Amino acid sequence: MSGAVRTSAGRRLGALGRAEIALLGRNRGAVVTALLVPLALPFTVRGAYARLDLKAHGVDAGTAMLTAAIGFSFLFAVYTALVGAYVARREELVLKRLRTGELSDAEILTGTALPAVGLGLAQALVLSAGCALLLHTGPPRAPWLILPGLLSGLVVSAALAAVTASFTRTTESAQVTALPLLLVSMLGSGITIPAAAMPDRMASVCALLPLSPAIRLVEAGWTGRSSGPETLAALATALAWTVVAVFAVRRWFRWEPRR
Amino acid sequence: MDIDGHEQVIEVTGLTRVYGGGFEAVRGIGFSVTRGEIFALLGTNGAGKTSTMELLEGLAAPTRGEIRVLGHDPYRERTAVRSRTGVMLQEGGFPAELTVAETARMWAGCTSGARPAAEVLARVGLGDRHGVRVKQLSGGERRRLDLALALLGDPEVLFLDEPTTGLDAEGRRDTWELVRALRDAGTTVLLTTHYLEEAEGLADRLAILHAGRIAAAGTPAEVTAGRPARMSFQLPEGYHLGDLPPLAALGVRGHEHAGRTVRLRTTDPQRTAAGVLAWAERKGLRLDALDVRSASLEEAFLGIAGHDGGDGPELGQGVAA
């Protein structure tokens, strides 16, 4: 048997991701939050959207709701779900045990994130299709912007989940430590208040928030309203947050519980 | 390679580990382990066993000192070492909601040259537990699952941190058999234990850690050499220690007297036993619970660690088990 197959990064990620999918399926609370919240919450903001006179800003209610739904998906299916998963695995000593094997640190964090990221992506695609059919938003005008929007949203959400987990001791306290990003993103990143409805100066500050680039790219993908420089600025902002998050994780991520 | 051509699989020099709070858990230790050898780190809780193991496993960088595992730094050259080592941590580390088979499959996907999961699970006696969730396993079964996963990739070097803690007597013997079989097949094994009997019976060589330093090292015979033998018995009612013949003349170096039980430490067990038994014979006495034993690791261990009050209960448990 010696000299047999060496594992590859892909194989290791697959094995870890598969185990995490089984675990996600057995955590009913996490599944309900991840699946239902992004579907239900947009309806709570519907009334507010009606009063905002979005049409005057060039955004129709259907697109605004879709954008909100995808934003909630980043926040609940990916971000909060992953903060809980990272903390739970660390407290169970799973992360420490995995580090004794051949997986690299990046592979451990990526593999653990795979099911949540996959769920977030699937949800965003289903929501997009559903909204296009049911809310009469029509097909996206600039679909090439949607893919980088979704990818940057998923990557930033997962990376910030690892950062948040670095400062979270228990799965219970994760419900508190995840709040700041949830609130800031919902209010400032164009999820409950569309960026188009904000005063210009506020909108340009809020554009720098972690999930703003993703939301704006997705929205621009549907409305077709985005200039080249705007798109590049959004991508650069998303990249900057990813770099900051990776740095923070390398610096502060805890692989085992405090003793 | 050393002069005799034995390959040094693990080499440790001047190893020190200081934790964030300033606690110095490992204080400049050094040892080496040859290929195909079972080396035991023995010590009470807090002696620095696990702190040392984590450094050797490459989970943390030492504060000072150098480690070579298979010729590499296990922390900085992680990828060069990991596919050739198997690790069993002191405490599990498996998601509670996965089944035994799912856990093994996951680990197999992450291990180069992994053997079939079923084969390894059968080898540790978990062949009939495939569908059971980890949270439903007993403590001993979890230890055996952990061992199975450490063996999955046929490692050249095996790190076992307290492999038999939580196992019943039979499970412990099974694990010993397995570790010996692995050693005989060429695997190098580094294990920690606080069971003296385990270190004495299993290890080719051992080091006794105390307060972060190596207090004694060598083969079990070398470590026990020069340590006193022990004789114990119960005095009949109405007799006292002073009624015995002069103990120093019988080679006795120390004694304890608790209730009716007398414990003697002696460098000449034959003379001591003969003297005490001749005395009893003359007096027509019967000595209950009579026991004479040659120097053991326990004596060496007590001599090193036993004087610290805080370590007592842990040791007592280890000796009795």
Residues in chain B with CB shorter than 8 Å from the CB of A25 are: none
Model pLDDT, residue B309: 38
Task: Looking at the structure, tell me whether residues B99 and B219 fall in a common domain.
Answer: yes
pLDDT of A248 over the 60 cut: yes
* Domain boundaries defined on chain A: 9-252
Q: Please check the confidence at residue A51 and state whether its pLDDT lies above 80.
A: no
State the pLDDT at residue B124.
94
**Whether residue B218 is found in the same domain as residue B234:** no
CB B140 within 8 Å of CB B171 = yes
Are residues B112 and A18, on separate chains, in Cβ contact within 8 Å?
no
| pLDDT for the residue B317 | 33
CB B113 within 8 A of CB A9: no
Q: Clarify whether residues B191 and B267 are in a common domain.
A: no
Q: What is the pTM of this model?
A: 0.87
Query: Is A52's pLDDT higher than 80?
Result: no
Residues B119 and B245 grouped into a single domain: no
- Coil, helix or strand at residue B192: strand
**Do B277 and B215 lie in a common domain?**
no
pLDDT value for B295: 82
Helix ranges, chain B (H): 49-56, 78-82, 100-109, 117-123, 139-151, 169-184, 196-202, 220-224, 269-283, 297-305, 312-320
Pairwise CB contact (< 8 Å): B107 & A26: no
Which range, of A10-14, A103-107, A122-126, A197-201, averages the lowest pLDDT? Answer: A197-201
Residues B184 and B42 in one domain: yes
Identify whether residues B143 and B58 lie together within a single domain. yes
Of the candidates A144, A107, A141, the residue with the CA atom closest to the CA atom of residue A20: A107
Q: Decide: A24 and A30 in contact? Cβ < 8 Å.
A: yes
pLDDT category of residue A253 using cuts at 50, 70 and 90: very high
Phi first, then psi: give them for residue A232, nearest 5 degrees: -65, -40
Query: Could you tell me if A15 lies within 8 Å of chain B, comparing CB atoms?
Result: yes
Assess whether B245 and B220 both reside in one domain: no
Boundary of a domain, candidates B224, B248, B265: B224
The answer to whether residue B318 sits within a structural domain is no
For residue B92, the model assigns a pLDDT of 78
In the predicted model, residues of chain B with pLDDT beneath 70 are 1-5, 305-321
The pair of three-digit structure tokens given for residue A74, joined into one six-digit string: 């980043």
pLDDT at res. A141: 87
Q: What is the mean pLDDT of residues A53-67?
A: 75
Comparing alpha-carbon positions, the chain A residue that sits nearest to B81 is: A102
Structure tokens at A167: 């400062």
Q: What is the pLDDT of residues A85-112, one digit of tens each?
A: 999 999 999 999 999 999 999 999 999 9
Statement to judge: residues B210 and B140 lie in one domain: yes
- Phi/psi for B111 (5° steps) reads -125, 125
Lookup: tokens for B271: 């003379």
Cα A206 → chain centroid: 17
**Final residue belonging to a domain, choices B178, B202, B224:** B224
CB contact under 8 A, A97 and B105: no
* Dihedral, A180, A182, A183, A188 alpha carbons, nearest 10: 110
For B233-276, the pLDDT digits (tens) are 999 988 888 899 999 899 898 888 888 899 998 988 999 999 99
In a domain, B98, yes or no: yes
Alpha-carbon distance A167 to A181, whole Å? Answer: 13
CB contact under 8 A, A26 and B97: yes
Q: Which residue has the tokens 């990916």?
A: A78
Contacts of B152 in chain A (CB under 8 A): none
Q: Is B136 on the interface with A (CB under 8 A)?
A: no
CB pair distance less than 8 Å for A93 and B82: no
For chain B, positions 2-31, list CB contacts with chain A under 8 A: none
Q: Give the residue-averaged pLDDT of A207-230.
A: 90
CATH classification of the domain holding B59: 3.40.50.300
For residue B105, which residues of chain A lie inside 8 Å, CB to CB? 15, 18-19
| Structural domain containing residue B270 | 229-294
Query: Are residues B235 and B220 part of one domain?
Result: no
Among A32, A39, A40, CA closest to A84: A32
Which of A2, A7, A255 lies nearest to residue B111, judging by beta carbons? A7
Q: What is the mean pLDDT of residues A122-126?
A: 90
Of B188, B204, B224, the position where a domain reaches its end is: B224
Q: B52 CA to chain A: closest CA distance, Å?
A: 14
Could you give the CA distance from residue A149 to residue A8 in angstroms, rounded to a whole number? 29
Q: State whether residue B59 sits within 8 Å of chain A by CB.
A: yes
Picking from A87, A100, A104, A258 by the largest number of B CB atoms within 10 A of its own CB, the best residue to mutate is A100
Which residues on A lie below 8 Å from B79 (Cβ)? 102, 104
The CATH code of the domain that includes B254 is: 3.30.70
Q: How many domains does chain B have?
A: 2
Same domain, B119 and B233: no
Whether residues B151 and B280 share a domain: the answer is no
CB-based contact, A96 to chain B, within 8 Å: yes
Query: In Å, how far is B250's CA from the nearest CA of chain A?
Result: 51
- Which pLDDT does position B227 carry in this prediction? 81
Pairing type for strands B8-18 and B64-69 reads antiparallel
Q: In residues, how long is chain B?
A: 321
Q: Say how far apart CA B210 and CA B216 lie, in whole Å.
A: 9
Task: Round the average pLDDT of chain A to a whole number and report it.
Answer: 89
Question: Within a domain: residue B310?
Answer: no
Instruction: Kindly give the interhelix angle for A28-44 and A9-25, rounded to the nearest 10 degrees.
Output: 80
